[in-house]
């Protein structure tokens, strides 16, 4: 199991420093994997033009929240910039990224997380992930990802006990069952 760290309150106002760091960190294009000719997405007309949230899973994080991991496929012909992610009964999620032993938070509307055309964004603890405040998991909440062009994609999320139960997101080769 991967080590989890929590946010630390040092008693000093670190908001300006966190905002600057978050702006710098999150203006980079998120970890996206470009589809190749061997990828099931690029081989199927089912995915053509679609923007899909393929997985949305949340695990306990610290004593008062949840970490969320999404996989988003952008099969459209244009890049998609995420503007907000809302989880039913929790509200808006924050974007997070590990920087050394700390976790830097940023609101998505103040960040630039782009899912390039014909690419997949796969969040995990080592790239970018989401943070939700709350202590009680609910069954199958609706998660809605909103993009800067006004479009959105939704899926029922899962709350799971720990990160060992996360979906292992791999697509089969289009030539294999």
| Residue 21 token pair | 């760091």
Tell me if 169 is assigned to some domain: no
pLDDT score for 161: 76
Mean pLDDT of 109-132: 88
The count of domains in the chain is 1
Tell me if 114 is assigned to some domain: yes
Structural domain containing residue 136: 30-161
pLDDT score for 25: 42
pLDDT score of 122 more than 70? yes
- Integer Cα distance of 29 and 11 in angstroms: 32
Tell me if 16 is assigned to some domain: no
CATH number at residue 86: 2.60.40.1890
For residue 135, give Cα distances in angstroms to 1, 57, 62: 21, 15, 10
Q: How many CB atoms lie within 10 A of CB 148?
A: 14
Mean pLDDT of 159-170: 67
Tell me if 63 is assigned to some domain: yes
Mean pLDDT of 17-44: 46
Tell me if 11 is assigned to some domain: no
Tell me if 10 is assigned to some domain: no
Tell me if 2 is assigned to some domain: no
pLDDT score of 58 more than 50? yes
Q: What is the pTM of this model?
A: 0.72
């Amino acid at each position: 199991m991967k080590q989890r760290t929590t946010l630390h309150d040092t008693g000093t106002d670190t908001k300006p420093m966190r905002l600057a760091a978050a702006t710098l960190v999150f203006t980079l294009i998120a970890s996206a994997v470009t589809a190749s000719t061997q990828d099931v997405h690029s081989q199927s007309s089912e995915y053509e033009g679609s923007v899909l949230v393929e997985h949305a899973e949340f695990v306990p994080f610290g004593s008062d929240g949840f970490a969320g991991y999404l996989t988003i496929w952008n099969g459209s012909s244009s890049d998609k910039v995420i503007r907000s992610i809302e989880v039913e009964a929790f509200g808006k999620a924050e974007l997070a990224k590990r920087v050394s032993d700390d976790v830097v938070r940023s609101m998505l509307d103040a960040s630039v997380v782009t899912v390039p055309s014909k690419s997949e964004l796969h969040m995990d603890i080592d790239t970018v992930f989401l943070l939700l405040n709350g202590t009680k998991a609910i069954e199958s909440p609706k998660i809605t990802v909103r993009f800067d062009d006004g479009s959105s994609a939704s899926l029922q999320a899962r709350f799971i006990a720990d990160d060992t139960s996360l979906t292992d997101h791999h697509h089969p080769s289009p030539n294999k069952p």
